[in-house]
């Protein structure tokens, strides 16, 4: 759980459903309104996102690839190569963001984007362009989980809760989309007048401007307010959080599947146009329509109650119908509409599950966990890209799109599972409200492991301060519960408690005239072990 500095206008309180909840401290008189302050603080971040997304080569990439010798199979190979690079970099980059600087990692992602555009423009064959694709993978690895974590923690620092996260991350997706749409229209038009290769070179200085914008962004510090941990401890904490079963497993599964569907649609979607022999001038409007789903989906995120079964049924049905339309021999209009509808609904679902994921993990490992989910997504995409490319080459993109349909059905199934689980837990919500009322003023907080075990937010330093009162039976019930729930997850504090109890037993047998040699040795041994 996150411990908040007194300068922040909010505090954590109890949760029993595994999600962090925050209550606001009264703002100081004359202080800026949280919403206005949040908008101003996120503005440089949104500007940086715009410049990162303004890539003139993206709408004509597949056309450029065909010019330098790519076919559907080699496109699949290229996608698999950078998909293999992402999971190798993503988790270390998330750990680096948590321990060093999330803004710094985002700046590195911009540098990777510049190198990708430069090398891509210099490419004349498949092998050289695959080198460019490696830097695309580095960009995705540095950007994905880190950006979500930055926005989430900024929302917490400025407003005191996570309610505005879907709206704000939706704004980020909208800016990404608008940058892609405008660059798609301009890139397609310029490529028709000049060449596809020139679009790569023109994108390099634009990506460089994103570095300037990132430098003007004030990074949130929530992930640095917790106790210092060693790299090994943080890796272990990230791994435990990521592999937690029960509550978190369906959330991770849904996040991976939504990312997989979007990756396949955006990576291979233009192949439908190639198969239909669509002229280059139409690639820009097509790509603009597809990328606009990121922005429109961001604006709609949170407005569609996916926890309501009637709404969810309609959303899932439309997703499956759109994916089925891609398996048919149709024209460019039907293909574009089907891809747009599918991408739009999956974007909305992905933002919904992103909030569930960040609500369920502490800030100290938020980037690492989000990057871990991203790494799993890319590992799932790697074989999917290879299979999709091979099937497209041998049987056509319509046959390969059955893979998209299968993944879409799984997305719908997990959405229903989460919605049904939420409806089946009203008693948990009642318990949460009651416990929050009892302990909200103390600022205590808990998480639930997937097994249902309650895990306290108590730090080791707090444990040492409270252990004497605990042994004397002087703690209030809430504090005693926090201390007891801390023990199963901390070997050091368990050993410390044993040493204290052993010391008390030994001192209890001390006669008035002095300490027996055997008891002296027991005490010396206990304190020696405690200092190691």
DSSP, residue by residue, 341-408: HHHHHHHHHHHHHHHHHHHTS-GGGHHHHHHHHHHHHHHHHHHHHHHHHHHHHHH-HHHHTHHHHHHH
Q: Which of 105-109, 231-235, 435-439 has the lowest mean pLDDT?
A: 435-439
pTM: 0.61
**How far, in Å, CA of 521 to CA of 514, rounded?**
14
Tell whether the torsion through CA atoms of 287, 48, 349 and 401 is positive or negative. positive
Residues 431 and 16 sit within 8 Å (Cβ to Cβ) = yes
pLDDT for res 430:
44
pLDDT for res 162:
73
| For residue 342, pLDDT beyond 90 | yes
pLDDT band at 19 (very low <50, low <70, confident <90, very high): very low
User: 525 or 454, which is more confident?
Assistant: 525
pLDDT for res 216:
94
pLDDT for res 454:
40
User: 215 or 158, which is more confident?
Assistant: 215
Domains assigned to the chain: 32-424 (1.20.1250.20), 447-531 (no CATH)
Three-state DSSP at 23 gives strand
User: 421 or 510, which is more confident?
Assistant: 421
Each residue of 351-407: pLDDT tens digit? 888 888 877 776 667 777 777 787 788 788 878 888 888 888 888 888 888 999 999
Each residue of 308-332: pLDDT tens digit? 888 889 999 999 999 999 888 788 8
pLDDT for res 429:
43
Distance of CA 485 to the CA centre of its chain: 28
Alpha-helix runs per DSSP H in 21-125: 34-53, 61-67, 72-99, 102-122
């Amino acid at each position: 759980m996150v411990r908040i500095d007194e300068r922040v206008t909010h505090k954590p309180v109890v949760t029993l459903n595994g999600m962090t909840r925050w209550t606001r401290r009264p703002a100081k008189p004359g202080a800026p309104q949280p919403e206005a302050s949040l908008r101003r603080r996120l503005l440089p971040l949104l500007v940086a996102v715009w410049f990162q997304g303004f890539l003139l080569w993206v709408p004509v990439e597949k056309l450029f690839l065909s010019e330098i010798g790519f076919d559907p199979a080699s496109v699949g190979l290229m996608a698999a190569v950078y998909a293999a690079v992402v999971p190798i970099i993503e988790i270390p980059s998330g750990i680096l963001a948590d321990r060093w600087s999330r803004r710094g990692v985002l700046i590195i992602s911009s540098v990777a984007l510049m190198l990708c555009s430069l090398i891509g423009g210099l490419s004349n064959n498949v092998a050289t362009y695959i080198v460019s694709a490696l830097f695309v993978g580095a960009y995705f690895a540095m950007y994905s989980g880190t950006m979500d974590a930055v926005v989430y923690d900024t929302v917490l620092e400025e407003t005191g809760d996570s309610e505005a996260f879907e709206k704000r991350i939706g704004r980020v997706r909208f800016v990404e989309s608008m940058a892609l749409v405008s660059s798609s229209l301009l890139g397609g038009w310029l490529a028709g007048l000049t060449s596809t290769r020139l679009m790569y070179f023109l994108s390099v200085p634009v990506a460089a401007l994103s570095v300037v914008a990132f430098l003007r962004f004030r990074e949130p510090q929530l992930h640095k307010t917790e106790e210092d941990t060693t790299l090994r401890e943080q890796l272990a904490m990230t791994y435990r959080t990521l592999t937690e079963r029960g509550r978190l497993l369906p959330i991770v599964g849904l996040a991976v599947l939504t990312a997989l569907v979007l990756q396949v649609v955006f990576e291979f979607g233009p192949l439908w146009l190639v198969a239909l022999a669509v002229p280059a001038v139409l690639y820009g409007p097509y790509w603009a329509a597809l990328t606009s789903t990121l922005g429109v989906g961001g604006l709609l995120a949170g407005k569609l109650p996916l926890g309501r079964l009637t709404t969810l049924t309609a959303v899932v049905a439309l997703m499956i119908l759109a994916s089925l339309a891609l398996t048919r021999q149709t024209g460019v209009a039907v293909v574009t509409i089907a891809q747009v509808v599918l991408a739009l609904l999956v974007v909305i679902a992905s933002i919904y599950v992103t909030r569930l994921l960040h609500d369920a993990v502490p800030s100290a490992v938020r980037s690492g966990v989000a990057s871990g989910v991203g790494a799993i997504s890319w590992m799932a995409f790697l074989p999917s890209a290879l299979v999709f490319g091979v099937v497209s080459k041998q049987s056509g993109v319509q046959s390969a799109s059955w893979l998209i349909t299968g993944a879409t059905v799984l997305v719908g199934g997990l959405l229903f599972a989460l919605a049904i689980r939420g409806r089946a837990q009203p008693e948990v919500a009642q318990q949460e409200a009651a416990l929050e009322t009892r302990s909200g003023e103390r600022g205590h907080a808990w998480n639930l492991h997937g097994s249902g075990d309650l895990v306290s937010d108590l730090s080791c330093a707090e444990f040492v301060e409270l252990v004497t009162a605990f042994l004397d039976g002087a703690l209030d019930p809430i504090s005693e519960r926090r201390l007891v729930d801390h023990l199963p997850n901390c070997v050091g504090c368990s050993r410390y408690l044993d040493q204290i109890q052993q010391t008390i037993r030994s001192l209890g047998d001390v006669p008035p005239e002095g300490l027996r040699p055997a008891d002296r040795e027991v005490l010396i041994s206990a304190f020696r072990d405690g200092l190691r």
